């Protein structure tokens, strides 16, 4: 578990169980038959159709690659123990995704081409995970209480294992040995169902993720429900789990703002909302459309987040724990255009997509969703997105500025206000980025490689996570503080055809006595080749130190005028820095973390009381 994540103990007599009346209502919606999202291997019409498509051939190729690794990777109890001994999850993180992909792909490959080639390996994988003392990632069990059997917990990894096992049982059926099918049921029952339901109904020691507003909620609920709808024989039990998912998913929905913005960043949108879609489509299917979350206007806005967050040319903002090389999965970005929905008046069919592009092949249910729950996976298309010159999410103070599509200008930029209490937070109130074409030259550093420190009380010792590693001021020698109280205030905003401007009050992000004014003016201009201007003003009660910074992964140099040139080839920007109220000195360093961007800094040589620093950023050509 991460720092501050504690299981929940409700007052006596209270619990999280769904209302009995709602369970009965859901029961009336359900078929008496068990349900799974896939198509069983015995349905040769459907699977032979898949086999003769690029998607079927891709599944076969990915499965062959997964099973051909030598030595074949397995998660073992020894790997758990090595992670704790080294105080690092590296050994687990190197192996677990490979095993998860194999467990997801091989059953599907046996449906595409039912030769029996992979059945032995599939059964070996079932036995191997049954021998693990825990399915919980070692970073979520640092005290080893789950591993030692002192208590139970189910995390993201647990539900991915359980869901992949359930999919294998459903897809392959009696092609698996009876003892393997029985083993799948017993493992999921004692590791997942029994301890979870007991906690939900008692209200004691309830897994902390049931009320979080980040990706854990939707991911875990999707895995739980996928297992319950197939493995639970009793329809009333299945109804209980459906009603529970319906009750608890509101926490996940609360992780999105009214504008559809997701504070965890666009890569976690792909993970969290991707599983929300999976969960929603499951419920829509199993209830015959009587529960259909994707009809809500708010969900439509959430679904558009991935498309709206593309700055330009396939580049996305890297705030919070977003990976820098993120590429959105077209199936999810365009899901609302391609899902089976008879009530929609039509869909765009001009620009085709590859529905398997940018996916991990680790989640069997996701692959089945893509294959069988679109109008036609072979005819999936880009949805209706306007490509506006700006996207302004007022409720989180996040702005994306783009050049007009018809313009020769290639400069784009983002700026973020908000607060420092978001999910997967970085202390970065006021951060901004500048892109030229497809290159983010002035950047937010993105996520660090996760270690045991990342989600501990020492999180902000990491210089990719604290404000030192972001293009925001250092005020009186102080970095930004974490927490929702570290909140920017919008002083003014102006959006016009030729330029966008926003002014933020950043004082609350710093615990500095005598800080009277701290404002950041962000100006984006669409005239000529474009320009970005950042003007910071500070006023102290008594003179103090003040410093600003830029972060870049690109090559940089100083020109003869003392300006900074950032970039290479025909993608270079010129950064001119001027000051009022004092003389500046320039410094730079490499941030020595899992990523190593350069930090370019300007500070006043002497303490100032009332001063300004302006950075003007323009393309060199």
Quickly state the pLDDT bin for 405 (edges 50, 70, 90): confident
- Main-chain phi, psi angles of 137, to 5 degrees: -55, 140
**Considering the domain 390-619 in this protein, what is its CATH number?**
2.70.98.70
Closest CA to 531 of 429, 421, 620: 620
d(CA 256, CA 263): 7
Q: What is the mean pLDDT of residues 164-177?
A: 99
pLDDT number for residue 385: 76
Task: Report the side by side order of strands in the sheet with 474-475.
Answer: 474-475, 546-552, 598-604, 584-590
Evaluate if residue 5 carries a pLDDT over 80: no
Bridge partners of residue 500, in order along the sequence: 495, 524
End-to-end CA distance of the chain: 49
Contact 112, 47 (CB under 8 A): yes
Span 20-379 CATH architecture? Alpha/alpha barrel (1.50)
pLDDT number for residue 608: 99
Element (H, E) at 600: strand 598-604
Global pTM value: 0.94
d(CA 134, CA 143): 13
184: helix, strand or coil: helix
Q: What is the mean pLDDT of residues 37-62?
A: 97
d(CA 73, CA 64): 14
Quickly state the pLDDT bin for 386 (edges 50, 70, 90): low
Burial 601-618 (b: 16+ CB within 10 A, else e): bbbbeeebbebbbbbbbb
Token pair of 364 as six digits: 């069997």
d(CA 73, CA 395): 45
Burial 171-203 (b: 16+ CB within 10 A, else e): bbeebbeeebbebbbebbeebbbebbbebbebb
Contact 609, 540 (CB under 8 A): yes
Q: If you count them, how many residues does the chain have? A: 621
pLDDT number for residue 121: 98
- Which residue shows structure tokens 């899901």? 335
Region of poorest pLDDT, from 52-66, 317-331, 393-407: 317-331
* CA distances (Å), origin 461, targets 104, 395, 468, 520: 37, 29, 10, 25
d(CA 320, CA 316): 12
Percent of the chain at pLDDT > 90 equals 92
Quote the mean pLDDT of the chain.
96
pLDDT per position as a tens digit, 280-293: 999 999 999 999 99
Evaluate if residue 621 carries a pLDDT over 80: no
Q: What is the mean pLDDT of residues 330-340?
A: 96
Q: Interhelix angle for 364-372 vs 266-286, to 10°?
A: 70
Q: What is the mean pLDDT of residues 180-193?
A: 99
Quickly state the pLDDT bin for 1 (edges 50, 70, 90): very low
Q: Could you write out the DSSP letters of every residue in 507-550?
A: GGG---TTEEEEEEEEEEE-STT-EEEEEEEEEEEEEE-EEEEE
Quickly state the pLDDT bin for 78 (edges 50, 70, 90): very high
Evaluate if residue 362 carries a pLDDT over 60: yes
pLDDT per position as a tens digit, 240-275: 999 999 999 999 999 999 999 998 889 999 999 999
* CATH 1.50.10.100 residue spans of the chain: 20-379
Element (H, E) at 493: strand 489-495
pLDDT per position as a tens digit, 130-159: 999 999 999 999 999 999 999 999 999 999
pLDDT number for residue 345: 76
Residues 6+ apart with CB under 8 A from 252: 213, 214, 215, 217, 218, 221, 272, 276
Bridge partners of residue 466, in order along the sequence: none
* CATH 2.70.98.70 residue spans of the chain: 390-619
Token pair of 85 as six digits: 């001994």
- Which residue shows structure tokens 């009793």? 234
Closest CA to 479 of 490, 470, 488: 470
Q: What is the mean pLDDT of residues 293-317?
A: 94
Provide the strand spans (E) within 394-469. 398-401, 411-416, 419-420, 432-436, 439-442
pLDDT per position as a tens digit, 496-518: 999 999 999 999 999 999 999 99
* CA distances (Å), origin 568, targets 182, 427, 439, 444, 565: 60, 29, 10, 19, 9
Q: What is the mean pLDDT of residues 34-53?
A: 97
């Amino acid at each position: 578990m991460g720092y501050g994540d504690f299981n929940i103990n409700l007052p006596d007599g209270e619990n999280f169980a769904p209302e009995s009346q709602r369970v009965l209502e859901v029961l009336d919606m359900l078929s008496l038959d068990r349900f799974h999202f896939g198509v069983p291997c015995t349905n040769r019409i459907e699977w032979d159709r898949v086999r003769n498509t690029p998607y079927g051939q891709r599944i076969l190729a990915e499965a062959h690659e997964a099973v051909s690794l030598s030595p074949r990777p397995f998660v073992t109890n020894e790997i758990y123990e090595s992670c704790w001994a080294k105080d690092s999850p590296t050994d687990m993180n190197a192996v677990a995704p490979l095993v998860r992909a194999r467990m997801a792909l091989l059953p599907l490959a046996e449906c595409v081409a039912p030769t029996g080639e992979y059945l032995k390996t599939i059964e070996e994988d079932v036995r191997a995970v049954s021998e693990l003392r825990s399915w919980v990632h070692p970073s979520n069990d640092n005290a080893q209480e789950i591993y030692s059997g002192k208590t139970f917990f189910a995390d993201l990894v647990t539900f991915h294992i359980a869901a992949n096992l359930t999919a294998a049982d459903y897809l392959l059926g009696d092609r698996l040995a009876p003892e393997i099918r029985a083993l799948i049921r017993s493992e999921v029952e004692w590791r997942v169902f029994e301890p979870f339901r007991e906690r939900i109904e008692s209200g004691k020691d309830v897994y902390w993720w049931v009320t979080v507003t980040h990706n854990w909620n939707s991911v875990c609920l999707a895995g739980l429900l996928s297992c319950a709808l197939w493995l639970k024989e009793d329809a009333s039990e299945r109804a209980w789990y459906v009603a529970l998912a319906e009750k608890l998913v509101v926490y996940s929905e609360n992780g999105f703002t009214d504008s559809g913005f997701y504070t965890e960043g666009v890569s976690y949108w792909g993970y969290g909302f991707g599983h929300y879609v999976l969960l929603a489509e499951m419920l829509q299917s199993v209830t015959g459309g009587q529960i259909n979350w994707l009809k809500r206007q708010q969900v439509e806005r959430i679904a558009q987040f991935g498309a709206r967050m593309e700055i330009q040319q396939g580049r996305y903002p890297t705030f919070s724990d977003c990976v820098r090389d993120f590429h959105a999965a077209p199936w999810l970005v365009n899901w609302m255009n391609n899902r089976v929905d008879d009530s929609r008046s039509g869909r765009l069919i001009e620009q085709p997509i590859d529905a398997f592009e940018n996916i991990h092949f680790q989640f069997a249910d996701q692959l089945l969703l893509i294959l069988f729950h679109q109008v036609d996976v072979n005819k999936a298309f880009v949805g209706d997105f306007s490509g506006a010159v700006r996207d302004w999410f007022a409720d989180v103070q996040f702005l994306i500025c783009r050049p007009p599509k018809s313009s020769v200008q290639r400069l784009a930029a983002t700026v973020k206000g908000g607060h420092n209490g978001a999910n997967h937070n970085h202390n970065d109130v006021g951060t901004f980025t500048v892109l030229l074409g497809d290159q983010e030259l002035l950047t937010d550093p993105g996520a660090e490689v996760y270690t045991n420190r990342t989600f501990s009380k020492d999180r902000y010792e990491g210089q990719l996570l604290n404000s030192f590693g972001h293009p925001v001021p250092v005020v009186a020698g102080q970095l930004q503080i974490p927490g929702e109280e570290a909140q920017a205030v919008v002083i003014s905003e102006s959006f016009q055809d030729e330029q966008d401007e926003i002014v933020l009050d950043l004082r609350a992000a710093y615990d500095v006595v005598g800080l009277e004014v701290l404002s950041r003016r962000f100006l984006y201009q669409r005239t000529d080749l474009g320009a970005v201007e950042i003007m910071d003003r500070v006023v102290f009660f008594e003179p103090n130190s003040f410093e600003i910074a830029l972060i870049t992964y690109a090559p940089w140099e100083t020109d003869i005028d003392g300006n900074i040139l950032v970039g290479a080839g025909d993608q270079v920007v010129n950064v001119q820095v001027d000051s009022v109220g004092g003389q500046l000195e320039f410094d730079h360093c490499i941030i020595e973390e899992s990523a190593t961007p350069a930090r370019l800094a300007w500070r006043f040589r002497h303490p100032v009381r009332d001063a300004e620093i302006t950075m003007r950023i323009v393309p060199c050509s």
